[in-house]
A and B are shown apart, each in its own frame.
Chain A
Amino acid sequence: MDLRGTEAIVTLQSSAGQLAPSKNEQVQSAEQHALDWWSLAAIAPAIIILLGFLFLFFYGVFQSLTDLKFGRPLVRFIGFTNYEVAIKTQDFWNSVRATMAYACSAVLAEAFCGLALAKLFASGVFLARLMRPVILLPLVLPPMSVALMWTTMMDPQNGILNYLLSLVGIGRFAWISDASTAMFSLVLIDIWTYTPFFALIIFAGLQGINDEVREAARVNGAKGWATFLHIELPLIAPYILIAAVFRLIESLNQFDIIFGTTQGGPGDSTSVLSVRAYITAFQNLAFGRGAALMVVNWLIVLIGTLALVKLWRSVRQRVS
């Protein structure tokens, strides 16, 4: 079975189908055809399941163009009315702002903390080697458990965090129970949970750097910081950016942590688009408008991701 040859045959057939293939090729392609059926049968169940979800995605986009409400028998197509109504309200822009503020500040802070954590654990000191599995810990806990864990710890009356703050002489902090500090608290939870993600990826990047590169820099008289800034950082920048792409997507879509802690409150302070969409669709039962909010959220994710991927590509090109 020469698979390379097959590939050539497939291209040959598709590009120049009118040319009659020689007998030899005919035999080979028949054999290949039987084999292809096996391959198609093997891949079909997965594709069918996933196509179902793709269909649902488009169905959701369609629903955002209707006035669908729970229990209403008649559904009318109303074009972009859901979107027009939404963008005229202050709440909508508030949600867009909250979504972006949450995602951007979380990803930026995680990138810095993750870099520091990775550098620290890459130093190879005794405890770093011993404690490495601990980095994984926040990532394997259910986000909902993380959210509720921090809710109990951030209790303004008798939470442990306020106790620890009082030890260093800081008075009671309101955490998630006050509109002015709620967003900050949520970002803090996100940072605790997902900094390890950056750390793991940057750690892999650091290990990929040749020791000779570092040695060369040292011999040329570069001090520790200079080596890091001018040699290491450009080399691991692509790793940081690809981690940022993944995290940006997930934090723009973040639902569990926010729903588990504040459900969008107090007031409107942490009502990101996904939480608002859930409340619109399943508490106010306006499915059409909820779907419209999710489509907007998805567009933001798409634009943000494409921008970051472009940056990542250009950085990677410059490095290599």
Chain B
Amino acid sequence: MRLNRSTPASVLLNLLVLACTLILTFPLVWIVMMSLKQQPEVMTWPPRFIFKPTLENFRVLFDAAQAGATSYGTIKVDFLTPVTNSLVISLGAVLVSLIAGVPAGYVLARRDIPMKEDIAFFMLGFRFAPALLVVIPLFSVFQTVGLYDTYFGMIWVYQVVTLPMIIWLSRSYIEDIPKDIEEAAAMDGAKPFRVVWYIVLPLLKPGLIGASLLIFLLAWHNFALGLILSSTKAPVTVALLKLLNPGVQFYPVMAAGLVVTMIVPVVLIILGQRHLERGLTFGAVK
């Protein structure tokens, strides 16, 4: 709706939008600034907005050779391992979800199987699963079968977050594809498998890329599963919390860690804003 507004009203609205944008972005800007400061500069009052930026904090996070030696003392951090862990677990979780979830989404969209709607609803229910209630028994199970603190175990348990999402998203994307195309191909004698592989999948590709971005993001966000079910394979969100030492608070180093965890999602927004929006509000708005 493009109504004709008087100039003052439109200026006021623009200002309000600007204020909201500031509220939404300021914390991030401040954290980025903090990550570029020295420890003494962070502790000053009033806080400084103009300073000489340094990459010292990022060096502390990733420089294994110096083992976290800073100009203001030594803190033991190893941030490269958790970042790698998070990448491996999240990418693995996305891959497994795609392999197991997209066929399921296709079946739920196109085929008639008994109790189809019940199965679909059962899967949606996992969006509301109480993670901790699943993890408490899982802890003892993982200890017994030796899956505790392994990539394999972590990737499997991340499916509780990523798999239902990819099934629902791929189902809704497949339903957007006109059915006639498939029927025409089947009429020409193509086998069902070939129809899916050569006709449905290429049409589905943009949607699947978007959905993969979203579930990668969900896997990247996860904290509770990694906190309880891993130690050396802990994801980056768990490592972040350890940066907040009790007593001595190296805020700038932690800010640098925060920046690292936030870069990934911000890049993903730029890559696929439209898809993320559809995924994040999924279930509420189709």
> Which residues in A have some Cβ–Cβ distance to B below 8 Å?
1, 3, 6-7, 10, 35-36, 38-40, 42-43, 45-47, 49-50, 53, 56-57, 59-61, 63, 68, 117, 120-128, 131, 133-145, 148-153, 155, 157-158, 160, 163, 166, 192, 196-197, 200-201, 204-205, 211, 214, 239, 242-243, 245-246, 249, 253, 255-256, 259-260, 274, 277-278, 281-282, 287, 290-291, 294-295, 297-298, 301, 305
B45 lies within 8 A of chain A by Cβ = yes
Q: Are A50 and B163 neighbours in the complex by a CB distance under 8 Å? A: yes
Known A6-B112, A140-B265, A144-B237: A149·B13 in contact at CB below 8 Å: no
Query: B203 CB to closest chain A CB, in angstroms?
Result: 18
Known A145-B262, A158-B44: A287·B136 in contact at CB below 8 Å: yes
Cβ–Cβ < 8 Å partners of B128 in chain A: 249, 253, 301, 305
Residue in A150, A163, A245, A295 whose beta carbon sits within 8 Å of that of B133 in the complex: A295
Known A133-B269, A140-B265, A214-B1: A63·B136 in contact at CB below 8 Å: yes
Main SS at interface, chain A: helix
Q: Are B241 and A60 neighbours in the complex by a CB distance under 8 Å? A: no
Q: Are B30 and A160 neighbours in the complex by a CB distance under 8 Å? A: yes
Cβ–Cβ < 8 Å partners of A36 in chain B: 111, 113
Residue in B112, B119, B123, B134 whose beta carbon sits within 8 Å of that of A3 in the complex: B112
Q: Are A49 and B159 neighbours in the complex by a CB distance under 8 Å? A: yes
Q: Are A60 and B134 neighbours in the complex by a CB distance under 8 Å? A: yes
Q: Are A160 and B47 neighbours in the complex by a CB distance under 8 Å? A: yes
Q: Are A197 and B280 neighbours in the complex by a CB distance under 8 Å? A: yes
Q: For residues 80 through 123 of chain B, which have their beta carbon under 8 Å from a beta carbon of chain A? A: 99-101, 103-104, 106-108, 110-114, 119, 122-123
Known A57-B129, A148-B244, A294-B136: A138·B24 in contact at CB below 8 Å: yes
Chain-A contact segment, one of B50-58, B63-71, B137-145, B204-212? B137-145
**Complex formed: what's the CA distance from A68 to B214 in Å?**
38
Q: Are B241 and A145 neighbours in the complex by a CB distance under 8 Å? A: no
Q: Are A43 and B103 neighbours in the complex by a CB distance under 8 Å? A: yes
Q: Are B113 and A43 neighbours in the complex by a CB distance under 8 Å? A: yes
Kindly report which residue of chain B lies nearest to residue A196, judged by CB atoms.
Answer: B24
A–B Cβ pairs within 8 angstroms, 17 of them: A3-B112, A49-B163, A50-B123, A50-B126, A57-B134, A120-B13, A131-B18, A140-B276, A144-B240, A145-B237, A145-B262, A148-B241, A163-B47, A166-B46, A201-B284, A214-B1, A255-B131
